[in-house]
Homo-oligomer: A and B are copies of this chain.
Amino acid sequence: MDDVDTPAPAAPRPSVHPRQGLPEAVRIYEVGPRDGLQAEKVIIDTAVKLELVQRLERAGMTTIELTSFVPPRWVPQLADAENLMAAHAPREGVRYPVLVPNLKGLARAKAAGAREIAVVVSSTEAFAKANFANTIDGALDNAVAVVEAARADGLPVRGYVSMAFGDPWEGAVAPEMPARMAAALSAAGCTSISLGDTIGVGTAGQVADVVGAAVAAGTSLEALALHFHDTYGQALSNVLAGLEAGVTEFDASAGGLGGCPYARSATGNLATEDLVWLLEGLGYDTGIDLDALVATSTWMAGQLGRAPVSRVVRALAQDVR
């Protein structure tokens, strides 16, 4: 029966219906320029990346992970890290963490003017071997060395715990594994720990279990962030479960930038727009200009030569110019 020709008015918005028991305020940690672009097949020009970051700033993002100082042969998509940092003028009140894989990357990041660092560890031996050519504990020791050196220079450090909800080779991951990694990173001085569902397999009950295990192992709830991929459509219900568990920071990628090489799917990171829709509906003031963000992601999809994967972007793109 749902068949009406009358066009809908432009730019719908969610109604505001707050919910009991959720955190007072939440933060969005934008990972599009780093985690998003590194997973795209197309290598984007530095000037386009710069425009992306500037548009994200204008849309209201207050934390933007800018790039990664990994060896260019590992991630050619981000080989221009120094050039991007040199071209970019930091905006007052916005944080720009950069990812570094080791002490050499840290030296590069510091030389480029980075003021905030992120490191990555693995919850599984298979991913540690595949991604770091190391064991879990070897990769952790390496990350801790970076954390300690960065802290000695007064740089805040975020720790990513990868494959915290499942692993493409090992399958299920016990919540105690990411919890142990989070505790070690916290003890080393990380001020933020992002638990990552790198392949997007996690579901809502698991979120409570993984967060609970991390807190039980010694990471403070306030320091925890959650990083979801939407590979199986679960990212936003997992955010809701995370809010219900008291988590206050969520990673997202404008337009859903970034694929998922493990699952061979085009749907990667949780789209920032879809997250903003949920949060605004729950009564949070995200400070994001959704129209500006949708326009940015639509433009960026054109740069990548493909349709945006964000549901909100696809629905609103025709209304936003």
Contact = CB atoms under 8 A, between A and B. Distances in A.
A203 B169 contact: no
Nearest to A274: B233
A1 B131 contact: yes
B209 A277 contact: no
Given A204-B278, A205-B17, A266-B314, A2 B232 contact: no
Contacts of A9: 168-169, 171
A173 B311 CA distance: 22
Contact of A315 (B1, B68, B198, B264): B264
A12 interface: yes
A263 interface: yes
A261 B4 contact: yes
Nearest to A244: B244
Interface in A235-276: 236-237, 239-241, 260-267, 271, 273-274
A130 B6 contact: yes
A14 interface: yes
Contacts of A274: 232-234
Contact of A261 (B2, B15, B130, B202): B2
Contact of A162 (B2, B162, B240): B2
A201 interface: yes
Interface in A51-85: 68, 70, 74-75
A205 B310 contact: no
A231 interface: yes
Contacts of A159: none
A101 interface: yes
Contact of A234 (B70, B277, B283): B277
Interface residues of A, number: 83
A12 B204 contact: no
Given A1-B99, A2-B131, A8-B263, A206 B236 contact: no
B237 A278 contact: yes
Contacts of A32: none
A12 B166 contact: yes
A15 B267 contact: no
A1 B234 contact: no
Contacts of A241: 19, 240
Interface of A: 1-4, 6-9, 12-19, 35, 38-39, 68, 70, 74-75, 99, 101, 120, 127, 130-132, 160, 162, 165-166, 168-169, 171-173, 198-206, 208-209, 230-234, 236-237, 239-241, 260-267, 271, 273-274, 277-278, 280-283, 310-312, 314-315, 318
Given A7-B264, A9-B171, 12 more contacts: A1-B68, A1-B70, A1-B74, A1-B160, A3-B261, A13-B201, A204-B278, A204-B282, A232-B277, A234-B274, A237-B237, A260-B315
16 contacts: A1-B162, A3-B131, A4-B131, A4-B261, A7-B264, A14-B202, A16-B205, A18-B205, A19-B205, A203-B277, A205-B281, A232-B277, A232-B315, A234-B236, A264-B318, A265-B314
